[in-house]
Amino acid sequence: MTEGKSTPENPWPVRTVARKLLDWINRLGDVWVEGQVTQLNARSSTAFLTLRDPSVDMSMSITCNASMIRELQLTEGSRVIAHGKISFYPNRGTLSLRADDIRAVGVGELLARIERLRKLLHAEGLFDPRRKRRPPFLPNKIGLITGRASAAERDVLTNARNRWPGAHFRVVNVAVQGPMAVTQVMTALSTLERDPECDVIIIARGGGSVEDLLPFSDEALCRAVSQCRTPVLSAIGHEPDTPLLDHVADLRCSTPTDAGKRVVPDVAEESERVRQMRDRGRRALHGWVDRERKLLDALRSRPVLSDPYGPLDRRAEEVNRFRDQGRRAVTQRLDREDVHLSGTKARLTTLGPAATLARGYAVVQLVTPDGPDGVLRSVTDAPSGTQLRVRVVDGAVQALVTKAEGGGTDDA
């Protein structure tokens, strides 16, 4: 009977599933695996240990010859590379690696790996200064990730509160070395990241060997810090220690003491700065008031403000003077024109016929029915029998000729 595909109508028994798992695992063959040693138990001939992934909460069981453990002098926390074949125990449903070769990872190899990881993270831009955020000037709450009752915790808290007594901390104690360090630090980082009151996070640890500081060069931790929205301060080890976390964090502090000094301002310095700013503001205000007072005094001393009616009076005098000058000029012009008109009138009067008549003279023009007939120089020039009468029409003297024969009169 073929097994076929498992279905609700045709389920596989446990032995079938276990056998298939065993077949799949056997096809995997030999593997090399790396991790940190935990729960080491070396018996007389066989050693049992747990190999843990330092970046995540995963582990696997390993069995090997106890002589390997004694030759390498392995202890819990040692970083090793093991070679072997995965074994599946169907009766218990468990996996185990039967190691035939275990090698300790030396410091040189660890440093080489850290250097390769450093180049990788740098190429991805995680060390770029432009992505780093400036910590707040005075954070509302400070998150602190450090070891329990450690010197690093004491240094950060003491120095921060000496500088700013009102500094408020939320401390999360974790393992800062060993196989559980990376997982616990990442969990604490996530917890503080979700706290809306936490404005800055400090990851602090005292000095130690290269192996002790390895968790703070872990790739998973570095990437978690780079993705935090809250600014992160790295205070790992002493001044010469530079784990990769220092390059990824927003601010590197040389020591936990330095972190305590840089996370908050110094209340004495800030008080002095406030006093200096107040003095500068007072001097600036006094200087401005003095300048404005001098300007007001200068404006007040100007004639237009000291004697506002004086210019008006002077302008009124000028208006009166110009008015008198205009009146005199018009009067003089009228007088001249009046004199000129009188002279012209006198000349016209002299040349007019009225003046001639007034002196007893007349210019007589003989007008006949046929029209003017010249000027009579004397009465004797008139034809005999003609009667003459003289009248002035529009200033001109005309002769009226009367014919004696007919007794009639003909006016021209």
CA atoms of 285 and 292, how far apart (whole Å):
11
Annotate the chain with three-state secondary structure.
CCCCCCCCCCCCCHHHHHHHHHHHHHHHCEEEEEEEEEEEEECCCEEEEEEEECCCCEEEEEEEEHHHHHHHCCCCCCEEEEEEEEEEECCCCEEEEEEEEEEECCHHHHHHHHHHHHHHHHHCCCCCHHHCCCCCCCCCEEEEEECCCCHHHHHHHHHHHHHCCCCCEEEEECCCCCCCHHHHHHHHHHHHHHCCCEEEEEEEECCCCCCCCHHHHCHHHHHHHHCCCCCEEEEECCCCCCCHHHHHCCEECCCHHHHHHHCCCCHHHHHHHHHHHHHHHHHHHHHHHHHHHHHHHHHHHCHHHHCCHHHHHHHHHHHHHHHHHHHHHHHHHHHHHHHHHHHHHHHHHHHCHHHHHHCCCCCEEEEECCEEEEEECCHHHCCCCEEEEEEEECCEEEEEEEECCCCCEECC
Place of tokens 């810090």: 225
* pLDDT score recorded for residue 277: 95
Q: Which CA distances in Å does 111 have to 69, 116, 217, 307?
A: 24, 9, 10, 91
**Same domain as 123, residue 91:** no
Q: What are phi and psi of 383, to 5 degrees?
A: -60, 150
pLDDT tens across the length of the chain (412 residues): 456 678 887 888 887 888 888 888 888 888 888 888 888 887 778 888 888 877 677 888 888 888 888 887 777 777 888 888 888 777 777 788 888 888 877 766 777 778 888 899 999 999 999 999 999 999 999 999 999 888 999 999 999 999 999 899 999 999 988 778 888 999 999 999 999 999 999 999 988 777 778 889 888 999 999 999 999 999 998 877 788 999 999 999 989 999 999 999 999 999 999 999 999 999 999 999 999 999 988 888 887 777 788 888 888 999 999 999 999 999 999 999 999 999 888 888 777 767 666 766 666 666 666 766 666 666 666 666 555 555 555 545 555 544 444 444 444 3
Backbone angles phi, psi at 398, to 5 degrees: -120, 150
Say yes or no: 125 and 142 in one domain.
yes
Please give the residue range of the domain that contains residue 51: 14-105
The reply to whether 80 falls in a domain is yes
The pLDDT of residue 294: 92
Give the integer Cα–Cα distance in Å for 264 and 359: 131
Q: What is the pLDDT of residue 412?
A: 39
Choosing from 82, 105, 128, the residue where a domain stops is: 105
Backbone φ and ψ of 197, nearest 5°: -85, -15
Taking Cα atoms as reference points, which of 96, 90, 93, 94 lies closest to residue 82?
Answer: 96
Domain presence at residue 70: yes
| 115 & 101 share domain | no
Q: Tell whether 276 is covered by a domain.
A: no
Same domain, 257 and 207: yes
Considering the domain boundaries, does residue 331 fall inside one? no
pLDDT number for residue 406: 42
The residue type at 289: V
* Boundary residue ending a domain (105, 139, 169): 105
Q: Which of 233, 265, 297 is the last residue of a domain?
A: 265
Same domain, 158 and 131: yes
Tally the domains of the chain: 3
Instruction: Write the CATH number for 212.
Output: 3.40.50.10550
The pTM of this model reads 0.57
Is 279 within a domain? no
pLDDT value at residue 15: 79
